[in-house]
Amino acid sequence: MPGISSGIHIALQAILAHAQTIEVIEHNVANANTPGYRRQSAILETTVPSPILAAHKGMGAGMRGGGVRVAQIQRFNLEFFDGRYRGVAASTRYWEARRDILLQIEATLAETSEDGLINKLDNFWNGWQYLAGDPANLSLRVSLLDDARVLAEGFNRRWEQLQQIRLDQNQAIASQVDEINTYADEVARLNKEIARIFSTGERPNDLLDQRDRVLDKLAELSGAVAHEQKNGEVMVSIGGHVLVMGVQALHLTTRPKTGDTPMVEVVWEADTPQQVVNLPGGSLKGILEVRDQVIPEQMQGLNTLAAQIIQQVNALHSSGFGLDGTSGLPLFTGTDAITMRLNDAVTVENLAAADAAGQPANNGIAMAIAALRSQSMPGLGNTSPNDYYNRQITTFGTLTQNAMQNSTTHGLVAKALNDQREAVGGVSLDEEAANLAKAQRAYQAAARVLTAYDEMLDRIINGLGLVGR
């Protein structure tokens, strides 16, 4: 039965519903700049209409409406975009990590500067060439010995620098593993909260925002993928291995790498035996790949080149004769880039330029060694030493260029996807202003309706039954 009290109730409900709407708008405006915040909106719906049928006599027609209520507070998010974004973000971070280390190596090697190894090779060959022009000249011999020492040191230093860069990655790997573990714990904690609130039928919007943000970070670090379960929890996995399941997080850890001891590798902590983590993407994968593939290839190239030069130069040098008739001395000791040294026993006097004893003006060996510069060697894939190293620089430059281009293009795609996410879930202040105005007006109107009932009650209470007063 329609009555004044039910009318007041409807008006009150309207006032409360619109007040709540305004509160949601306030929350949106307050979080307009919060990273990862997804806008929320109060969804209004009519309450269940009064079950009393119009068929009752004298009651008027139809089912009467019971007013408005806030059905739920909706969160604007598209899981589809989240998944896409995380995939692309993982590859962006992968390429960026590669790019950063490669650029660092490029700067360290400084091949285009005076300090480049090519330059040192050139000086060494030229030293022999000069000596071939004047084989008994002592000052040329002094400077050639110096060139040879600089060349050996150039090889040593490059090799050490590359190894140092590899070693430096240990720290980066350890700190990223720590981050992944922390985030995994956070996801597990949020899972617990979210599932609890889900079970009450509510939507824990702000917690979902937080969890999405953490999942973004996990994807960027390790390429982790997340699947939402029915109860609101997410299951996170890296390369097919579970990282977070429900409220439980599994941890990663580092251990010395077998066969490459100063380096560490990333394994699953709880597995027995511990398995190496198979990373599908993310910055950690980029770091590990450069450390374990790109840099070792460069170092291998250096070793091959050094070994060939040591071998070929020594073969010629030890067959030659010094000014003092000494023969059989190798010019270099060592067998690869890190062990290569100028033989201490070689002096200005016994440096061999001649191919016969007691002939100070004989330059046979000097000419032969100078000619090694452009001689293709089977050990270097039938290229000359300079060409071989040149090719290595080119390969490395191409890798770096590739990483730079890929990080830019993937970054653009990630940005576009993020823009789309932002378009759906970001806070537009104009929109909030319009909604605020709408809610405010509705609130005012409901209050006015309440005033009307108030006046009606006033009439009934104070205006009726005054006859004979």
Q: Binding residues for another protein, per CB under 8 A? A: 32-33, 102-103, 106-107, 111-112, 116, 118-119, 121-123, 125-126, 129-130, 132-134, 136, 354, 356, 358-364, 367, 370-371, 373-374, 386-387, 390-391, 393-398, 400-401, 404, 415, 419, 422-424, 426-431, 433-434, 436-437
Residue 186 or residue 220: which is nearer to another protein going by CB? 220
**Least distance to another protein, CB of residue 157, Å:** 18
Residue 106 or residue 193: which is nearer to another protein going by CB? 106
Listed in sequence order, the DSSP H helices in 256-343 are 283-289, 295-319
**Least distance to another protein, CB of residue 247, Å:** 33
User: Bridge partners of 75?
Assistant: 40
**Least distance to another protein, CB of residue 371, Å:** 8
Residue 314 or residue 440: which is nearer to another protein going by CB? 440
Residue 68 or residue 132: which is nearer to another protein going by CB? 132
Q: Could you tell me the two tokens for 107?
A: 């700067």
Q: Are 313 and 302 in contact (CB under 8 A)?
A: no
**Least distance to another protein, CB of residue 423, Å:** 5
Q: Are 329 and 352 in contact (CB under 8 A)?
A: yes
Phi and psi based region of residue 383 (left: phi greater than 0; alpha: psi -120 to 50; beta: remaining): beta
**Least distance to another protein, CB of residue 254, Å:** 30
Helix (H, G, I), strand (E, B) or coil at 320: coil
Q: Could you tell me the two tokens for 9?
A: 């109730």
Dihedral of the alpha carbons of 41, 27, 197, 203, in degrees to the nearest 10: 10
CB atoms within 10 A of CB 208: 21
Residue 64 or residue 438: which is nearer to another protein going by CB? 438
Cis status, amide bond into 273, omega within 30 of 0: yes
Residue 226 or residue 377: which is nearer to another protein going by CB? 377
Helix (H, G, I), strand (E, B) or coil at 15: helix
Listed in sequence order, the DSSP H helices in 372-428 are 385-425
Residue 13 or residue 108: which is nearer to another protein going by CB? 108
Distance CA 306, CA 295 (A): 16
Residue 116 or residue 246: which is nearer to another protein going by CB? 116
**Least distance to another protein, CB of residue 211, Å:** 20
Strands 241-245 and 248-249: antiparallel
Residue 37 or residue 268: which is nearer to another protein going by CB? 37
* Helices vs. strands in the chain: H and E counts, helices first: 10, 10
Residue 206 or residue 387: which is nearer to another protein going by CB? 387
Q: Are 219 and 282 in contact (CB under 8 A)?
A: yes
Residue 226 or residue 427: which is nearer to another protein going by CB? 427
Helix (H, G, I), strand (E, B) or coil at 382: coil
User: Bridge partners of 253?
Assistant: 267
- Which residue reads 């709407």 in tokens? 21
Q: In what order do the strands lie in the sheet with 248-249?
A: 225-228, 234-238, 241-245, 248-249
Backbone φ and ψ for 257, nearest 5 degrees, come out as: -80, 135
Helix (H) or strand (E) holding 5: helix 4-30
Helix (H, G, I), strand (E, B) or coil at 36: coil
Helix (H) or strand (E) holding 241: strand 241-245
**Least distance to another protein, CB of residue 358, Å:** 8
Q: Could you tell me the two tokens for 447?
A: 């209050």
**Least distance to another protein, CB of residue 110, Å:** 9
**Least distance to another protein, CB of residue 213, Å:** 14
**Least distance to another protein, CB of residue 138, Å:** 11
CB atoms within 10 A of CB 429: 11
8-state DSSP, 339: T
**Least distance to another protein, CB of residue 181, Å:** 30
* The residue type at 46: T
**Least distance to another protein, CB of residue 25, Å:** 11
Residue 9 or residue 373: which is nearer to another protein going by CB? 373
